[in-house]
Amino acid sequence: MSLFFAAALGCSYVYLRRKDPRMLRNGLVLVAACWFAAVGALDVLSQWFPWTSWITLALFALTPLAIVVLAGFLISNGATMMRHEGRSLGNLLSLIAGVALLGLPAVALLLVTTLNPVAIGMAALLFFLCSYFGVVFVVFLAYAVVYGRMKHSTTPDAVVILGSQIINGKVPPLLRSRLDKGIEVYHAVPSAAAPLLIPSGGQGADEAMPEGVAMAEYLVAAGIPGEHVAAEDQAVNTAQNLQLSTVVARAHGRTGAMVVVTNNYHVLRAALLSRKLGLDAQVVGSPTARYFLPSAFLREFVAILQEHRKLHVFMCLPFLALTGLLTAAIVLVSQ
């Protein structure tokens, strides 16, 4: 039965991906399909080779150790981020996540050992919420990786390169990676249909010039003809990058499909935003330093939670109701 569900979900995923790959529910269907496929495969193996059941049990038994190892990795990565990128909240996310992975189970255990019904209910609620957001994160991360590796067949009329902070008027390595990817996309299109390159980004309080202008200078210096570059220099966030770049593209007579370029960790959220804005666009990612990825993906995850906060609050309501029922049942039993 599990393999049947896996096959059905796999077919659904293929259909949804062809319909529009810029949908987070595609990731949910994909992860569910993989889960049922794994369960079905383990079931078949246990029937053919009974000893494989012990391997499955061993894997479950090692789960706490895996959590400790993951927590240690995140804490170590957080320390690396502080050394290389500073102590901003965004750079501390992997450290915070690692500490939470170690601390939350200990808090839940302490609550349970009090034998207080309300405390036990709080421990149960903590378990439910951690499980829910853990699953949501797995779905996000899995589909972010899958979407980032997709090969898009779009022939772009314009290539929008999302900006990020410039330093002393110069393009730093992270932004240079995006620009080089944009140049790669540009050269992949036949010269007769060369797309318009639109570097997009406004000027921050600590920046010497708008990001879009500095990026345009880099593109021209790299050999892109000036008439194929049009800077967008007002945007202050990803949504504005997409909206204002669309205005620039249309002003230059480019009304067809767009390819948006950003770093690989940011690809899925940019794709979701482009769909929400009704744009005919696909998003491609450029490489990012490995040490930067854990905090970057966590930051993207938090941003997506924020953008869909009403949905997640609604999804958590049953957990609150179940916690209330559980607490009431414990009170009745203890009387």
Chain segment 132-149, per-residue pLDDT in tens: 999 999 999 999 999 998
d(CA 20, CA 107): 42
Torsion, Cα 57 61 62 68, to 10 degrees, reads: 160
Higher-scoring residue by pLDDT: 260, 325: 260
Q: Which of 335, 264, 260, 273 is nearest to 303 (CA)?
A: 273
Percent of the chain at pLDDT > 90 equals: 54
What confidence score (pLDDT) does residue 195 get? 95
Beta 281-286 vs 258-263: how paired, if at all? parallel
| pLDDT classification of 12: cutoffs 50, 70, 90 | very high
Where is pLDDT greater, at 178 or 79? 178
Instruction: List Cα–Cα distances, 97 to 92, 155, 186, 297, in angstroms.
Output: 9, 40, 38, 12
CB 208 within 8 A of CB 169: yes
Question: With 90 as the cut, is the pLDDT of residue 168 above it?
Answer: no
User: 154 pLDDT exceeds 90?
Assistant: no
Distance, CA of 330 to CA of 115 (rounded, Å): 10
**Tens digits of per-residue pLDDT, 192-219?**
889 999 999 999 888 889 999 999 999 9
**Arithmetic mean of pLDDT over the chain:** 89
Locate 197 and state its tokens.
């390159």
**pLDDT value of position 50:** 76
112: confidence class by pLDDT, cuts 50, 70, 90? confident
Rounded alpha-carbon distances, angstroms, from residue 333 to 130, 142, 327, 329, 330: 27, 42, 10, 6, 5
Task: Report the C-alpha gap between 141 and 34 in whole angstroms.
Answer: 14
Question: Is it the case that residue 288 has pLDDT exceeding 80?
Answer: yes
Residue 170: pLDDT over 90: no
Query: In this predicted structure, what is the pLDDT of residue 34?
Result: 92
Mean pLDDT of 121-125: 90
Alpha-carbon distance of 295 to 155, in angstroms, equals 33
